[in-house]
Amino acid sequence: MAAPRCSRCAWLLLVFIYSLYVVVKSEEPTPGDEQHASVVDNPQTAAETEKQPTEERRWEATQVDETVPDDAAASKQDLPVPDSVLTSTPALKDEFQEELVIRPLHSGDIYASFQFRTVWETDFTRGSKVSHYRLFPKSLGQVISKFSVRELHISFTQGYWRTMQWGQPYLPSPPGAELWVWFQDTVTDVDATWKELTNVLSGIFCASLNFIDSTNTVQPSASFKPLGIANGTDHRFLRYATLPREIVCTENLTPWKKLLPCGSKAGLAVLLKSEKLFHSSFHSQAVHIRPVCQDEPCKTASLELRQTLNVVFDLHASGQGKREWSLFKMFSRTLTEACPLASSSKIYIDVTDNPQEDQFELSPATHLLSQAVVLGDRRTFSVYDLTQQVTFGTVRSLNVLIRWKSTEGDMLRPLLHAERYVAGYGLQTGEIHTLMYNNHPFRSFPVLLLDSVPWYLRLYVHTLTVTSKGKDNKPSYIHYQPSKDRMRPHLLEMLVQLPPHSVTEVTVQFERALLKWTEYTPDPNHGFYVGSSVVSALVPSTVAMNTNITKEQPLFSTFFPTKEESSYFIRVYTEPLLVNLPTPDFSMPYNVICLTCTVVAVGYGSLYNLLTRSFQVEEPNPGLAKRIANVIRKMRGVPPL
């Protein structure tokens, strides 16, 4: 009994000592308490202490007096620097804008173009590492930083843009998938970086970009100049590739919408309903990343992410029959609010051809009008500002309605147009024809043509001819890179002068190669796709272009930089080609396999059956009299018969 009592006393003694230690420790003054005491004694110091964190978060520039005494400077150097000052970095500014442009077409169709722009005041080209992302998507920021990307342009398009019926698009793109990237000059192995980048982008956008390899990648020497700030144009750091057979679907649109700051929950992105967008004549979504200037002197650079989506709704395919469009009929939704993170959210309706509202009428009406120079022409737009609550009215919903009054009116023909087709017969040789139209009545201008032809179409460059108005038109610049079988495609670039009001035809003959049986697609008789030709030109403008890229303008008019007031840059894509190649009869192997299997099954099966079967002699059944006699004999103990 004495031992348990001693142990209890020892435990009580330990508890008493620990409680006494806690009480003494709590009575010791802490730095926070001392600071609090000093604040109570001196209210002015308290006010300064409360103001100090606020001033540190603002990160305002302060004037530094250079005439500091040496003693004071020495004393400042001796003072310890807090760790918080060394590790703190100023918050980078970013801005988000969204716009929707609606252009009624003379055919009764309607063209809608979405523009989402995120500008981030950072510069990845200087090797700066960024870990905090606010509006800019982190997935793309990490890709740009890891692969040292200066510019990235990627597009996914379903359908072909009919230039002669719809006019020029705000942002052109070829059918299928297109990717072209400018790398920084610090990249040592561009091809390996390009291959890894395509695989990463394939996962981000859920596309087949991993099929981009050396057989469909080219390195242009004159086309695809940088669209942003460029210190140099060394084309060794440029790569361009297309996948003309890429199918665009909902799985490509979903990750594209997730890159937006508000996603598809608020703002204009609410209208991006996949079942409506893909039930259209033309659909194209793109992502463009480039460095841009923050101000006119361009002393500092920002990173711009521009997400665009263009769609054309067909009048007859929609099933409504009458020339009347609204946001609900196009997208099955209406707008209720702007994106809370957007500094600007507007809807533009092109009313240039409707000055007196004799062609169509808008409902609800808006008094805001804006003018912008787009594609060399001054256009007038009715503007709906979604950041203003008055725009939504009392019902808190905006459904813009366009109702046609007259079907008269002619569309202004585009100044530059291009087409391409394949001629010839048989499966051995053929000829590629590229037609470039200059519809300007009295001005001629040069165009830069880029053709990338797969290696299995072996071009005969000596048959290359360029004719305009029935006469030879000698190109002033030609760059040709021959292909290598199963390694790289043909690359042909040329600078051609287009006479006024003329059609220039470029023809070249080719020979079809015979592929290995493993290189054919699952449907070889459908044919093989050849990517679109690219025509780039500075087209004369009817009005003076604005060369100040930092001036406040609509997003759809500021994508391509303008260096001259008398012309504007335009890029035109032709149709992709569908070429048939010599295709073996893949049904013959199937027939041979079936016949061989039948012979083996019949012949070997019969032989195997004879070799493995065991034969036994089976006596016939005895008669009834014999069986009765054997029963009787068995009862008598006599052996059976």
pLDDT, tens digit (0-9, with 9 covering 90-100), for 602-636: 988 888 888 888 877 776 777 788 888 888 888 88
152-163 pLDDT, tens per residue? 999 999 999 999
Inter-residue contact 325 to 79 (CB < 8 Å): no
Residue from 457, 385, 418 nearest 575 by CA: 418
Lowest mean pLDDT among 475-479, 534-538, 591-595: 591-595
Q: Given pLDDT bands bounded at 50, 70 and 90, which one contains residue 377?
A: confident
Highest mean pLDDT among 45-49, 211-215, 399-403: 211-215
Please compute the mean of the pLDDT values over residues 201-213 and round it to a whole number.
94
Spacing of C-alpha 70 from chain mean position: 58
Residue 266 pLDDT > 70, yes or no? yes
322-372 pLDDT, tens per residue? 778 889 988 988 999 999 999 999 999 998 888 777 788 888 888 888 888
Question: What's the CA gap between 147 and 279, in Å, rounded?
Answer: 36
Backbone angles phi, psi at 536, to 5 degrees: -115, 140
Inter-residue contact 200 to 223 (CB < 8 Å): no
Q: Which residues pair with 156 in a beta bridge?
A: 177, 285
pLDDT number for residue 324: 83
Question: What's the CA gap between 614 and 632, in Å, rounded?
Answer: 36
Residue 109 pLDDT > 60, yes or no? yes
pLDDT number for residue 190: 94
Please compute the mean of the pLDDT values over residues 549-577 and round it to a whole number.
81
pLDDT number for residue 82: 39
pLDDT number for residue 391: 86
Backbone angles phi, psi at 440, to 5 degrees: -75, 135
Q: Provide the token pair at 507.
A: 């023809």
Mean pLDDT estimate for the chain: 82
Residue 553 pLDDT > 50, yes or no? yes
**Helices and strands: H and E segment counts in the chain:** 13, 26
pLDDT number for residue 12: 65
Please count the other Cβ atoms lying within 10 Å of the Cβ belonging to residue 612.
Answer: 7
Q: Provide the token pair at 244.
A: 């003309």
Enumerate domains of the chain plus CATH numbers: 95-404 (no CATH), 416-579 (2.60.40.740)
Residue 87 pLDDT > 50, yes or no? no
Q: Given pLDDT bands bounded at 50, 70 and 90, which one contains residue 15?
A: low
461-518 pLDDT, tens per residue? 999 999 999 899 999 999 999 999 999 999 999 999 999 999 999 999 999 999 998 8
pLDDT number for residue 547: 66
19-73 pLDDT, tens per residue? 656 554 554 444 444 443 343 334 343 333 333 333 333 333 333 333 333 443 3
pLDDT number for residue 353: 82
Please compute the mean of the pLDDT values over residues 212-241 and round it to a whole number.
89
Residue 637 pLDDT > 50, yes or no? yes
pLDDT number for residue 476: 93
pLDDT number for residue 466: 96
Lowest mean pLDDT among 50-59, 106-115, 166-175: 50-59
pLDDT number for residue 498: 95
Q: Given pLDDT bands bounded at 50, 70 and 90, which one contains residue 570?
A: very high
Contacts of 633 (CB under 8 A, 6+ apart): 639, 640, 641
Q: Given pLDDT bands bounded at 50, 70 and 90, which one contains residue 85?
A: very low
pLDDT number for residue 346: 93
Residue 533 pLDDT > 90, yes or no? yes
pLDDT number for residue 537: 93
Stronger pLDDT, 305 or 622, i.e. the higher one: 305
Helices (H), 213-319: 250-258, 274-277
Residue 540 pLDDT > 80, yes or no? yes
Alpha-carbon radius of gyration of the chain: 38
Question: What's the CA gap between 464 and 449, in Å, rounded?
Answer: 13
Residue 541 pLDDT > 60, yes or no? yes
Question: What's the CA gap between 577 and 151, in Å, rounded?
Answer: 28
Q: Given pLDDT bands bounded at 50, 70 and 90, which one contains residue 202?
A: very high
pLDDT number for residue 624: 80
pTM across the whole model: 0.78
Question: What's the CA gap between 499 and 130, in Å, rounded?
Answer: 51
